[in-house]
Amino acid sequence: MLRFPLLLLCSLILLFASCGRAPENKGAKGEGIKGNLRLEETNEELRIFQHDQPVLAYRIASNMPADLPAYYQRTGFLHPIYSPSGQIVSDGFPVGYAHQNGFFSAWTNTTFRDSFVDFWNTHKELATIMNDEVEETIDADGFLGFKSNVTHLVNAYGWKEPVLEENLTVRVHDRNDVFVWDVRSEQTNVTKDTLFLNKHLYGGLGIRGSKHWNPKDTANFLAPAEFLTSDGLTGDSANHTHPEWTAIYGDLPGGKAGMAVIPHPENFRWPVGVRVHPELPYFSVSPVIREGFFIAPGETCLARYRVVVFDGEVPDLNSYFWK
């Protein structure tokens, strides 16, 4: 059994209490069209367009490359993610790192019923994450989006058991100078046992950049990804810092483009730590970089993010901050 000194346990309880609810997103169920935005859904994906230009896709079915082992199968993530000029700035099932997919949420170093569980690295075959259903379309002034249910499953006991049920809300704003969309993630422990999220280098939100920034993908590689944070830090210097925003961008066939993630200031442990990889095109917004916490049975951990997708260099992001 896990044993915690009383003082540490009390500290953890206080830490978890900080992982509370941010203000609700407002919106009502719609018909799939709002202003200049349009939503289309197939058996494989839900896609939102600005006029005729795709903004993002939400994966309902994995549709992964046929040569990958079945344990890489995962849904409930956003990919492709497009810039306003139509360039894809994300990657799904990337060469050499098929466990990282676009904009995704997964914990890495966790303990559940005294067992190590890794939701991030699906090739370990300990857990996976799958879309359950798209619950509704959100249609309101200035944005169009959807709500979905995503299940985080543990495989460690010879069967797949739901541990976290995630209510995921995505809202795309009606604008075309840059693409702006918000993500709200509510993860609830649906078991009778505590899930411990241990201190780790990364885990939480993952952002996987374009195949053209992946040196392992020799058929598509153009140049390494570039990173920039709100503190003006780049590359290695940005790793394990606590910025107000982080951007990944770089050269693509149609010119430079990228995306920036702005965590909500009411997120747990804001400004949240980031893992910026020194060689690969990905970063993680992670509240467990300095210390862990836990999600007790029936408790919910909430996080919100604003994403700005752009062409060219990183724009001035001040006007896109949460208000």
What b/e sequence results for 82-95 when a residue is b if at least 16 CB atoms lie within 10 Å of its CB, and e otherwise? bbbeebbbbbbbbb
Instruction: Report d(CA 109, CA 222) in Å as an integer.
Output: 33
Q: Look at the chain and report how many structural domains it folds into.
A: 1
Question: Does residue 310 belong to any structural domain of this protein?
Answer: yes
Question: Does residue 1 belong to any structural domain of this protein?
Answer: no
Show contacts of 237-243: CB within 8 Å, 24+ apart. 238/274, 238/276, 239/274, 239/275, 239/276, 239/277, 239/278, 240/201, 240/273, 240/274, 240/275, 240/276, 240/289, 241/273, 241/274, 242/271, 242/272, 242/273, 242/274, 243/271, 243/274
Question: Does residue 187 belong to any structural domain of this protein?
Answer: yes
The mean pLDDT of 227-233, rounded to a whole number, is 98
Instruction: Report d(CA 135, CA 31) in Å as an integer.
Output: 13
Asked if residue 187 lies in contact with residue 169, where contact means CB atoms within 8 angstroms, the answer is no
Containing domain of residue 313, as a range? 6-20+29-320
Range from 12-16, 87-91, 119-123 carrying the lowest mean pLDDT: 12-16
Q: What is the pTM of this model?
A: 0.90
Range from 13-17, 39-43, 257-261 carrying the lowest mean pLDDT: 13-17
Question: Does residue 219 belong to any structural domain of this protein?
Answer: yes
Share of the chain above pLDDT 90, in %: 83
Predicted pLDDT of residue 159: 76
- For 238, the 3-state DSSP assignment is helix
Question: What CATH code is carried by the domain that includes residue 312?
Answer: 2.70.98
Question: Does residue 293 belong to any structural domain of this protein?
Answer: yes
Question: Does residue 164 belong to any structural domain of this protein?
Answer: yes
Question: Does residue 92 belong to any structural domain of this protein?
Answer: yes
